[in-house]
Structure 1
Amino acid sequence: MTPQRASELKKEYEEDLFERVIPFWERHSLDREQGGYFSCLERDGTVFDTDKFAWMQGREVWGFSRLCTLYGERMPERRPAWLDAARLGAQFLRAHGRAPNGDWYFALDRAGKPLVEPYNIFSDCFISLGLAEYFRASGEQWALDTALATYRRIGERLPRPKGAWTKQIGENRPLAAMALPMMQIWMAWELRGLLPESDAEHMIDENVDRIFRLHVDRELRTVFERVLPDGSHPESMDGRLLNPGHALEVLWFILRIAGERGDRRMIDDIVDIMLWCIERGWDEKYGGIFYYRDYRNFPTEKLESDMKLWWVHAEALCAFLLATRLTGSAEHERWFERIHEYTFARFPDREHGEWYGYLDRRGEVSQTLKGGKWKGFFHVPRALFTCIGWLSQMEGDHAAG
């Protein structure tokens, strides 16, 4: 990618992030009366449900805190508002989010009354990371103490993450999903400097090995979403399930680590695997990346399989931009441009701000919501400021990112 092209893209991404995405959430998501954030937002920001989902609260705390730590010195006029927004969520979680055993509820009502038991360990993961980043932004020691206590509790829960709420009978088909090792890789990266270095590196290495050893099938040139403990995948809908967005997300996490370590062999391996994922996941008829696929091209149980989702394309942008930056591969750059063109032609709402979340197979808006139970202030800003950092480096500004 030429420095000129990197500058053009950086300008486009900065405009989207700072003029449309962040202001949308600042205007509509902050609950100034009872604390925390509204995540169920219509196209124009109208709140259509005031319930508060704990993992969305943790993600938004992380997002506003990261803006402070990443851009606070360069944009000092905006830092106080971002820190205030982060504090709104952090204090709400501090006051209402934890069950008596220390785990975090999945859902609360507007005032903080718990609605859904703490069955979902990903709530705890995002809250731990959100509070850790809030500590970096604010210096408030309670946030770090809570983040690390939650991190330790997550480690205790890993053998049975959902505890009493586990539905599967594991001894008969003990499928393991890729989401948890992916999450642990990102957690370890984010908690560097707050955990002992050996702990973070061990978590990274253990889970990178798990991804490559179990989920990456080199013979079939496929990354499977769910696998048995030996890495095999049963002939069932679950066993054949592919999630191109998850695969590309975890691959760019690992690629970033390989780049930092200067591991050229791993870099070359990862960028090759990325091509398997995009070639199998790309819709050649209508464009865009399918949400789910079946390895044998059978129907999946997921009725949304053919849809095009915001987060899948956001993570794919990160994956192929980083691959381009680290390797200079023309093939990966072509894929990046293809994904960029599709994404920015369809997902951003230039009238009201933010991105649409859900498109049908043809690329038409299927749901007008900008936030909900599963979509919040996370994938879009993370992708934009991550790409902005890499594009800054690619245009020659090595102080950025």
Structure 2
Amino acid sequence: MKTKLVAAFLFIGSVALGQQKAEDKQLISTLEKASKQELLDKWYPLAVDKEDGGFYSDITYDFKLGENQDKMIVTQARHVWVNSVAAMRYSRERTYLNYATHGFEFLRDKMWDKKNGGFYTLVTKKGERIPRENEEKTAYGNAFAIYGLSAYYDASGNEEALDLAKKTFRWLEEHSHDSIYKGYYQSLALDGTPIERTADFPSTSEAGYKDQNSSIHLLEAMTELYHVWPDTLVKTRLEELFLLIRDTIVNEDHYMNLFFTKDWKPVTFNTTSRENIKKHYYLDHVSFGHDVETAYLLLEASEALGRTDTEETLKIGKDMVDHSLKTGWDKKLSGFYDGGYYFKGTDSLEIVNDDKNWWSQAEGLNTMLLMQNYFPDDKLDYRSYFDKLWKYVQTYFMDAEHGGWYEWGIDKRPETKTALKGQIWKATYHNYRALINCIDQLEGVKNRE
């Protein structure tokens, strides 16, 4: 009898496994279509500015060129990264490498400051610098330049691109890196001098603070750079960022503080009124999307560094993900809310911004599968969250008529249906990366060969 029961369980298990594999095969096909036909094919070559170089910024809801075509280093570098990765993924299609080369040339010729070094934050369509008060350059923008240039070198073997990535790293080392308290200053003057925060600054201004967002993307950039240039100092800075984020920026309540003084004291307004806290939302809230994304970025950096404390990093990443699912997840329709807050005197988090942006959902897809792979038997059942999130994204973010993703979930903000599909803060980076990472995970392919 026992033998028959075991055989029955094995049969049922094999059938379930077969069904799961069949479902995953179909899912992979759907994700491939979503990443290639509904993202890459919609954006390129439309976004390629053949007249002035680089990539167009404003793309309308129905994929036409918009009115404002100023160009930001973050977006331009992300386009280079996406096309470089696509060139490696679809090696038979030369077009993506051509687009990446086109973007690299704009970074090199128009966005790099030939006098002071470093990349300008914002230029006109033709590539002329647009002056910016308090923040002429940023660590964040230069991090994405390193990210895009490193991926382009990986795809093309263009030594000039690698040299520019190295040059950018060294420029940040000289101007932005803090040798005393560690990490990097985000806000920089034209000559690279860090902006000192004074009492004259508006209380809502980000300038002069250190922050988690530039830190996690510097981590991401250094990981990419270290892959193509295993330099000792790059490894040192990558490890420094890794430990700073994991052990300081992530707090004991399993989420990241957003802004900090130069000695890494969190900027918070939790002792003030609700009205004042609301006024300073962008400086002080729980950002579920960043927490979920950072769980992935920490593991990626840990692997690149060859660290042996993976379990500790996994626990911290898992705790952040679990906290986001328990406090920032829409239990009715699914998806991650934009932000929450722990008001003084309460133990529970309150959702203070229930909008849902595209990048948080994209990063959530990638991280849910990542957690499922590491913790297949966890009671939270990360795969079920992935399935719910993917259904939510298909229903409320992916435009079945025109292609691409809306900026905001139309369950909360239906007006986004006719808003820009692309602008200086939105292109193809978050969702394309997430989708191909999901495909690789389902196929059992490592992100790095």
Aligned counterpart, 2:100? 86
Separation in structure 1 between the aligned mates of residue 63 and residue 332 of structure 2, nearest angstrom: 33
Q: Secondary structure at the match of 1:293?
A: strand
Give the residue type in structure 2 aligned to 1:390.
Q
**1:171 CA drift (Å):** 12
Q: Map of 1:111-190 to 2, 5 A cutoff?
A: 111-117=126-132, 118-156=136-174, 157-159=176-178, 160-164=185-189, 166=195, 168-169=197-198, 176-190=210-224
Instruction: Output one character per residue of 1:233-272: Cα deviation in whole Å (capped at 9) or x when no partner.
Output: 5344357411111111111111334567572343244223
Alignment partner of 1:57 is 2:52: no
Aligned counterpart, 2:255? 222
Aligned counterpart, 1:108? 123
State the number of aligned residues.
Answer: 388
* Alpha carbons of structure 1 residues 230 and 21: separation in structure 2 relative to 1, 3 Å: closer
Alignment partner of 1:345 is 2:345: no
Separation in structure 2 between the aligned mates of residue 6 and residue 293 of structure 1, nearest angstrom: 33
**1:184 CA drift (Å):** 2.3
Q: 293, 310, 323: which one pairs with 2:340?
A: 293
Contact persistence 2:186–2:214 (CA under 8 A): no
Aligned counterpart, 2:428? 377
Give the residue type in structure 2 aligned to 1:225.
L
Which has the higher mean CA deviation after the structures are superposed, 351-360 or 53-62? Answer: 351-360
Q: Secondary structure at the match of 2:130?
A: strand
Contact persistence 2:294–2:317 (CA under 8 A): no
Separation in structure 2 between the aligned mates of residue 102 and residue 327 of structure 1, nearest angstrom: 45
Q: Secondary structure at the match of 2:390?
A: helix
* Alpha carbons of structure 1 residues 398 and 253: separation in structure 2 relative to 1, 3 Å: closer
Contact persistence 1:223–1:277 (CA under 8 A): no
Give the residue type in structure 2 aligned to 1:377.
T
**Structure 2: tracts of 5 or more residues without a match:** 1-16, 179-184, 271-276, 344-348
TM-score normalised per structure 2 = 0.78
* Alpha carbons of structure 1 residues 131 and 258: separation in structure 2 relative to 1, 3 Å: closer
Alignment partner of 1:276 is 2:323: yes
Give the residue type in structure 1 aligned to 2:317.
I
Aligned counterpart, 1:325? 373
Structure showing greater radius of gyration is 2
TM-score normalised per structure 1 = 0.87
Aligned counterpart, 2:241? 207
* Alpha carbons of structure 1 residues 400 and 104: separation in structure 2 relative to 1, 3 Å: closer
* Alpha carbons of structure 1 residues 115 and 223: separation in structure 2 relative to 1, 3 Å: closer
Instruction: Output one character per residue of 1:136-185: Cα deviation in whole Å (capped at 9) or x when no partner.
Output: 22222211111110111122313433134847439999853211221122
Separation in structure 1 between the aligned mates of residue 247 and residue 342 of structure 2, nearest angstrom: 18
Separation in structure 2 between the aligned mates of residue 347 and residue 67 of structure 1, nearest angstrom: 22
Separation in structure 1 between the aligned mates of residue 360 and residue 447 of structure 2, nearest angstrom: 29
**1:286 CA drift (Å):** 4.8
Aligned counterpart, 1:387? 438
Aligned counterpart, 1:256? 300
Contact persistence 2:220–2:301 (CA under 8 A): no
Q: Secondary structure at the match of 1:19?
A: helix
Which structure has the higher relative contact order (CA within 8 Å, separation 6+)? 1
After the TM superposition, list the runs of 4 or more consecutive aligned residues in structure 1 that deviate by more than 4 angstroms. 170-175, 230-233, 257-262, 297-300, 397-401
Which has the higher mean CA deviation after the structures are superposed, 360-369 or 344-353? Answer: 360-369
- CA RMSD, Structure 1 to Structure 2 (Å): 2.8
